[in-house]
Structure 1
Amino acid sequence: MPTDIAFLAIAEAQQLYHWLPAALELARRPGVRVSVLSPSDKLLALIGSYDPDGRLTQVRLARPPSGPDSLFRQPSRLATLLLNHRRIARFPTVVTTEISSAWLRRMPGFASRMILIKHGAGDREGGYKKRHADFDLTLVAGEKDRRRMIERGLCADTRIAIGGYPKFELKAPRQRFFADDKPVLLYNPHFDPVLSSWIRHGPAVMAALESLDGWNVLIAPHTKLARRVPPITSAAPHIRVDMGSRRSIDMSYTMSADVYLGDVSSQVYEYLIEPRPCIFLNLDHRDARCETFAHWRLGQVIETMDGLPTALARANALQAGFLGVQEAAMRDSIDLSPIPASRRQADIILDFLKDAA
Structure 2
Amino acid sequence: MKVGFLFNHDALHQIRHTAPVIAALLRYRQVEVVVLTSSAAQEGEVRRLLGAAAGQVRFVSLTVGRVAAALDRVVRHVAPFRRIATLRENLPAFAALDVLVVPETTSLLLRDRFGLDRLKYVWIPHGAGDRSVGFRDVMRGFDLVLLSGAKVRDRMLAGGLITPDNHVVVGYPKFDTIDDALPARLFDNDRPVVLYNPHFDPLLSSWYAMGEAVIAWFAGQRDFNLVVAPHVMLAQRRMHASVEHRVVRWRRDVAERFRDLPHIRVDMGSEASVDMTYTRAADIYLGDASSQIYEWIVRPRPAIFLNASGADWVGNPDFTHWRLGEVIDSVDALPGALDRAVESPDRYRAAQEAAFAATFSRDEEPASVRAAAAIVARFGA
TM-score interval, smaller chain = over 0.9
1:116-265 correspondence to structure 2 within 5 Å: 116-171=123-178, 173-226=182-235, 227-228=237-238, 229-233=251-255, 234-235=258-259, 236-265=261-290
Q: 2:144 is aligned with what amino acid?
A: L
4+ aligned runs moved over 4 Å, structure 1: none
Flag structure 2 segments of 5+ consecutive residues without an equivalent: 239-250
Opposite residue 24 of structure 2, the aligned amino acid is E
Amino acid corresponding to residue 83 of structure 1 in structure 2: E
How far residue 5 of structure 1 moved from its aligned partner, in angstroms, is 0.7
Q: Which amino acid aligns with 2:358?
A: D
Secondary structure at the aligned position of 2:346 is classed as helix
1: CA distance, partners of 2:43 / 2:229: 24
* 2:82 equivalent in structure 1: 76
Cα separation, 1, equivalents of 2:360 and 2:208: 29
TM-score by length of 1: 0.93
More displaced stretch, 3-12 vs 58-67? 58-67
User: 2:349 — aligned with what?
Assistant: 323
Which whole-Å deviations, capped at 9, do the CAs of 1:88-138 have from their partners, x for residues lacking one?
111011111110000111323541111111110001101122221111011
Asked if structure 2 preserves the Cα contact closer than 8 Å seen for 1:143 and 1:334, the reply is: yes
Provide the residue aligned with 1:341 in structure 2.
367
AA in 1 matched with 2:160 = G
> Structure 1, residues 140-199: CA drift from partner, whole Å, max 9, x if none?
111111111122221112111111111112126422222222221000000000000011
Query: Are the equivalent residues in 1 in contact too, given 2:301–2:346 (CA < 8 A)?
Result: no
CA separation in 2, counterparts of 1:305 and 1:260?
15
TM, length-normalised to structure 2: 0.87
**C-alpha separation in 2, matches of 1:143 and 1:115:** 19
Give percent identity, aligned residues only: 39
Matching residue within 93, 98, 101 for 1:87: 93
CA RMSD of aligned residues (A): 1.9
Q: Report the CA distance between 1:74 and its aligned residue.
A: 7.7
Letter in 1 for 2:335: P
Q: Is the 8 A contact 1:205 1:305 kept in 2?
A: yes
| Cross-structure match for 2:331 | 305
Aligned mates of 1:18, 1:75 — CA distance in 2: 23
Pair 1:351-2:371 in alignment? no
- Verify the 8 A CA contact 1:222 1:265 in the aligned structure 2: yes
Distance 2:264 2:302 in 1: 19
Secondary structure in 1 aligned to 2:89? helix
Letter in 2 for 1:183: P
Q: Residue type of the partner of 2:348? A: F
Change (3 A) 1:338 1:312: farther
Matched residues, number: 350
d(CA) in 1 for partners of 2:65, 2:285: 39
Report what 2:61 is aligned to: 60
* Residue pairs, 1:32-43, within 5 angstroms: 32-43=31-42
1:285 matched to 2:316? The reply is: no
Partner in structure 2 of residue 100 of structure 1? 106
- Which shows bigger deviation, 144-153 or 217-226? 144-153
Contact kept? 2:302, 2:346, Cα under 8 Å: no
